[in-house]
Chains A and B, each alone.
Chain A
Amino acid sequence: MTAASTAPAPAPAPATARAPRRTALLPTAALLLGALYCLLPVAWVVVASTKSGRELFSTFTFLPGTGFAENLADLSAYRDGVYWQWMANSALYAGLGALLSTAVSALAGYALAVYRFRGREAVFNVLLTGVLMPPVILAVPQYLLLAEVNLTDTHLSVLLPSVLSPYGVYLARIYASAAVPADVVEAGRTDGSGEWRIFRSLALPMMLPGLVTVFLFQFVAIWNNFLLPYIMLGDDEKFPVTLGLFTLLQQGSSTPALYTLVIAGALLAVLPLIALFLVVQRFWSLDLLSGAVKS
């Protein structure tokens, strides 16, 4: 493209430029439709969070209301600001959990990709089975196991099961085998550096974009996780925000659900995820530039 703009345009260029534009119409329309489908509920949450309880069900769905500040104030005041405690808990579970999970995935994925050892494929196959296993069905067994060591209803009971993510290890292995050439590892060894140093100084920077992906996946998965903390935690001071909002909805048949608070709370709860994506996004573009060997 840059070459085309400096040099005098060759005759066939406009034709090739126009052709993809015409074919791109349908995919673009499909993608726009998809975007609309995904963003409409978000727009609903944004609009609904501005409505007061009186307006929520009575005014037009996408007509902004007048109660946004009031909803936020009510939410913050609810049981002495327990909502912010839930947010902090979610940040702890998702932040620390994803970080630890990424660290474990990086080490395990690198080892599986670079070293040859007996049982490597067996380990990898077990991991693949783990990828296919929905985490939901593991929650109850994990609860019973943690109960054996008296760890239920602690922060650790939510963190520990999140640390090992088969999918993260799988992704890290695939990424490491593609991004860390054997030549680089070999060169490191020839130059006399130890295995840990090779991993830290050579492989880790190359794996970074992949690890960012693992981190993001894990962060979102833990942030949105409901069943695991639901089973593990009894103390509402330790609840993540998903669980906390659920208690606002289910207050027993004699008490109406606090819809306005839940909607405002849900809106605030997705903001950190959006912010995280915006911040971390730029690491992905490193992808193709971070290789060290010409092939």
Chain B
Amino acid sequence: MNHRTVAACTAAALAAAVLTGCGSSGDDSAASGPAELTYWAWAPGMDKVVALWNEENPDVKVVVKKQASGDDLVTKTITAAKAGEAPDLVQAEYQALPTLVGNDVLADISGEVAGAEKEFAPGVWQQVTLGGDAVYALPQDSGPMMFYYRHDLFEEYGLTVPTTWEEFADTARALKEKAPEKDLTTFSSNDAGLFAGLAQQAGARWWTTEGRKWKVAIDDAATRKVADFWGSLVREGAIDNQPMYTPAWNKALNTGKQIAWVSAVWAPGTLTTAAPDTRGKWAMAPLPQWEKGANATGSWGGSTTAVTGDSEHKEAAARFATWLNTDPEALAALVRESGVYPAAKAAQSGGALSRAPEFFPNQPDFYEQAAEIAQGTAPAAWGPNVNVAYSTFKDAFSKAAKNRSGFDSALRTMHEATVADLRKQGFGVAE
């Protein structure tokens, strides 16, 4: 590298610095013109949905910046908010809302979204208000849980679709007898969201407030019941103990080594890529119940649209969020482009969802059944450190699942770690 190259590089870098400097300060002072809102979202095709809004609303332009979903995005958003650089709108999962609220990231938009409440099921709406008067986000999609099974193999082995968890356990054992190398399903210690949903169905409410204190009930009777149930199935070897979402799991689903999956309404999309050879061989049924004849389910996944406190155009941002999640045209586009199962009640059947998923040609009334199941969605109660609870779940339960040693102490570990972390963060914790 000679002198000239070095000089040229330095000059280029300086020029770039000057140009970018000007560019970014220009953005900030543009508040007088049409408002431009940045929106961090991960849903595929969101830019196409937003294009519809931009066409009709030239005064409020929304720009989607696609992000990777997950806990990391929550951390990134909090960091950005600390620097005063958070985007105007963020896509956030339900369980992330208390964390974001606790870090002062989100704006209370209850004044701007009055009237939106009636569009959503109470169990869903309660998750965006955190049980208070404020509204921190608008529900976008939800993931009511269901039971998926290989109807061809159920027939082959003479199994009936379980309606209660007791029958579910019997089905698992019956399959083991008839085909020892096969498993009904697996208990995945990688997916805390699934376990949380199952506990919800059983009536657990992990985080509640008592006065100004948090009350943690991860180790409560309902969750204990769920943990014992799965723990004993794993211990006796009636089901597999390997995590989900691995190549091995994909293979097990594709080859019919595992013949059922406790999942949520979005499962058809996952099955399409995980088990491509099984199209038309799956069927969906309500989640098995703890009490015969009940219609309760938990939720796994689902997200919201939230407005941040950093936004200079909160009113416009809230207007966009309301449009995105309640307007029939927007919801239809969300279903079409992003493949979400909308949280708004009116959009959960008919319209874009009148046809069954492409992977389930054998179940034409898929979404009608799904909407019925969704009505029984139990309320969820999230706290400010779901991430800690989830990561402890992964560690403790994966060890217990591997050793097939039951989940008693793992559940206690999860509870204690969550409480200890809340205390460490300076929250009051009620006993």
Whether A253 pairs with B13 at a CB distance below 8 angstroms is no
Q: How far is the CA of A4 from the CA of B79 in the complex (A)?
A: 68
Task: List CB contacts (< 8 Å) of B125-155 with chain A.
Answer: 141, 143
Chain B minimum-CB-distance residue to A107: B6
Query: Interface segment, B17-25, B348-356, B417-425?
Result: B17-25
Whether B65 pairs with A236 at a CB distance below 8 angstroms is yes
Query: Interface segment, B271-279, B312-320, B376-384, B405-413?
Result: B271-279
Whether A256 pairs with B276 at a CB distance below 8 angstroms is no
Q: How far is the CA of A250 from the CA of B245 in the complex (A)?
A: 12
Chain B minimum-CB-distance residue to A61: B247
* Chain A contact residues: helix, strand, loop or mixed: helix
Q: How far is the CA of A242 from the CA of B2 in the complex (A)?
A: 32
Whether A152 pairs with B270 at a CB distance below 8 angstroms is no
Cβ of A251 to closest chain B Cβ, rounded Å: 6
Task: List CB contacts (< 8 Å) of A210-261 with chain B.
Answer: 211, 230-231, 234-236, 243, 246-247, 249-257, 259
Whether B303 pairs with A151 at a CB distance below 8 angstroms is no
Whether B10 pairs with A255 at a CB distance below 8 angstroms is no
B391 within 8 A of A: no
Query: Interface segment, A6-14, A30-38, A139-147, A177-185?
Result: A139-147
**A102-B1, A250-B70, A253-B143 are known contacts. Are A144 and B83 too (CB-CB below 8 A)?**
yes
Whether B79 pairs with A252 at a CB distance below 8 angstroms is no
Task: List CB contacts (< 8 Å) of B57-105 with chain A.
Answer: 65-70, 72, 76, 79-80, 82-85, 87
Whether B44 pairs with A255 at a CB distance below 8 angstroms is yes
Interface centre among B10, B67, B76, B277 (most CB of A within 10 A): B67
Option from A150, A155, A204, A235 in Cβ contact (under 8 Å) with B28: A150
Whether A155 pairs with B247 at a CB distance below 8 angstroms is no
A111 within 8 A of B: no
Q: How far is the CA of A175 from the CA of B370 in the complex (A)?
A: 68
* Chain B contact residues: helix, strand, loop or mixed: helix
Whether B68 pairs with A254 at a CB distance below 8 angstroms is no
Cβ of A110 to closest chain B Cβ, rounded Å: 12
Whether B341 pairs with A234 at a CB distance below 8 angstroms is no
Query: Interface segment, A18-26, A52-60, A118-126, A285-293?
Result: A52-60
B301 within 8 A of A: yes
Whether B20 pairs with A154 at a CB distance below 8 angstroms is yes
Q: How far is the CA of A152 from the CA of B82 in the complex (A)?
A: 13
Option from A140, A235, A256 in Cβ contact (under 8 Å) with B65: A235
Whether B68 pairs with A147 at a CB distance below 8 angstroms is no
Please, which residues of chain B bring their CB within 8 A of the CB of A151?
20-21, 24
B375 within 8 A of A: no
Please, which residues of chain B bring their CB within 8 A of the CB of A154?
20, 23-24
**A234-B38, A234-B80, A251-B43 are known contacts. Are A57 and B274 too (CB-CB below 8 A)?**
yes
Chain A minimum-CB-distance residue to B249: A57
B254 within 8 A of A: yes
Cβ of A3 to closest chain B Cβ, rounded Å: 38
Option from B13, B254, B301 in Cβ contact (under 8 Å) with A252: B301
Please, which residues of chain A bring their CB within 8 A of the CB of B2?
200, 204
A99 within 8 A of B: yes
Whether A103 pairs with B9 at a CB distance below 8 angstroms is yes
Cβ of B377 to closest chain A Cβ, rounded Å: 15
Q: How far is the CA of A200 from the CA of B7 in the complex (A)?
A: 12
Whether A253 pairs with B266 at a CB distance below 8 angstroms is yes
Q: How far is the CA of A82 from the CA of B24 in the complex (A)?
A: 22
Task: List CB contacts (< 8 Å) of A33-51 with chain B.
Answer: none
Chain A minimum-CB-distance residue to B267: A254
A100 within 8 A of B: yes
Whether A247 pairs with B68 at a CB distance below 8 angstroms is yes
Option from B21, B82, B83, B276 in Cβ contact (under 8 Å) with A58: B276
B339 within 8 A of A: yes
Instruction: Give 3 closest A-B pairs by Cβ, nearest first.
Output: A147-B83, A253-B301, A254-B266
Q: A140-B79, A156-B16 are in contact. List 7 more A-B contacts (CB 8 A).
A: A57-B251, A58-B276, A79-B47, A204-B1, A246-B68, A250-B69, A256-B270
